[in-house]
Amino acid sequence: MKVDKCRELSENMVMFDVEHFEEMTPQCRGKVSYVSEVESTNDEAKKLVREGKAVSGMLFLADYQTQGRGRGGNQWVCPRGAGLLFSLLLEPDEAAAFWNRMSLAVGLAIVDVLGGLELDVKLKWPNDLYLGGKKLGGVLIENVNGFLIVGVGLNVDVEEFPEEVAARAISLANVCGDRVNREKLLSDIVKMIFKYGSLIGDHFGYLRERVMECFYLKEQRVEMKVNGDILEGDVLGLSENGYLLVACEDGLEEICNATEIKILK
């Protein structure tokens, strides 16, 4: 375990208690790297995979990222100590070809854990987390040498967002009265990711049905970017593999990967 004590912690910021987290999370015991600042936790995980030192259950956690990345080449920015910013390394039993299924499993895991805090979080396909119509978090999964790097950014203690995103973003601090226990929250999320991650093969039908219960794009007319083209249509649901089914002008499309998905009012 590597703990880089942060000297620049703001007065209100509480350091993450790795020991407490590891006690609650056997899957990650002895495999947590916690630093105050890093370019991107996904990139740290990637380095370990490329060096051949990766083990399933390794967790890279940071208080702050200088080059946090989101899907579609977007940045992921979160104030120091105000989020959960982590990357979990998984070596799935199932072929990594199922990684799109894993992305739904991870989103659902987070929805369910936050449901335990009585929060009605929705999953915007493929894996953005929405609360009250605003973005609470996101998932960036990367597939490297048979490992899946599951990168999660969740707004926890962000009291105020910069003006340009304030109308579209939300944090747990905006809706939960008490301060959220980050160790317990992360532990519950990681355990749920392992649980749902084990279902992406033969039991994916169950996950798919559960995702449909918290499906943010249900029956919406949407516009999205698919391989550089703009596509518009009505969302019908999810295909057997967890791809997005959209009724477009030219017929039914099964969308594997899309960015900038906008709901058209």
Q: Using CA atoms, how far apart are residues 176 and 178, in angstroms rounded to an integer?
A: 6
Binders in 139-168 for ligand BTN, by CB under 6 A: 139-140, 151-153
Q: Where are the alpha helices (DSSP H) in 116-217?
A: 163-166, 172-175, 182-197, 204-213
Write the DSSP string, 225-260: EETTEEEEEEEEEE-TTSPEEEEETTEEEEES--EE
Q: Using CA atoms, how far apart are residues 81 and 214, in angstroms rounded to an integer?
A: 28
- One-letter amino acid at 65 equals Q
Position 34 contacts ligand BTN (CB under 6 A): no
Q: Cβ of residue 257: shortest distance to ligand BTN, in angstroms?
A: 13
Position 138 contacts ligand BTN (CB under 6 A): yes
At 85, phi and psi to the nearest 5? -125, 110
Q: Cβ of residue 169: shortest distance to ligand BTN, in angstroms?
A: 11
Choosing from 76, 98, 161, 204, the residue that interacts with ligand BTN (CB under 6 A) is: 76
At 146, phi and psi to the nearest 5? 85, -5
Q: Cβ of residue 33: shortest distance to ligand BTN, in angstroms?
A: 13
Structure tokens belonging to residue 211:
């995702």
The span of 20-28, 85-93, 114-122, 155-163 binding ligand BTN (CB under 6 A) equals 85-93
Q: Is the Cβ–Cβ distance between 133 and 169 less than 8 Å?
A: no
Position 88 contacts ligand BTN (CB under 6 A): no
Binders in 90-129 for ligand BTN, by CB under 6 A: 128
Beta carbon nearer to ligand BTN, 87 or 171? 87
Residues within the interface to ligand BTN (CB under 6 A)? 40-42, 65, 68-71, 74, 76, 85-87, 128, 138-140, 151-153
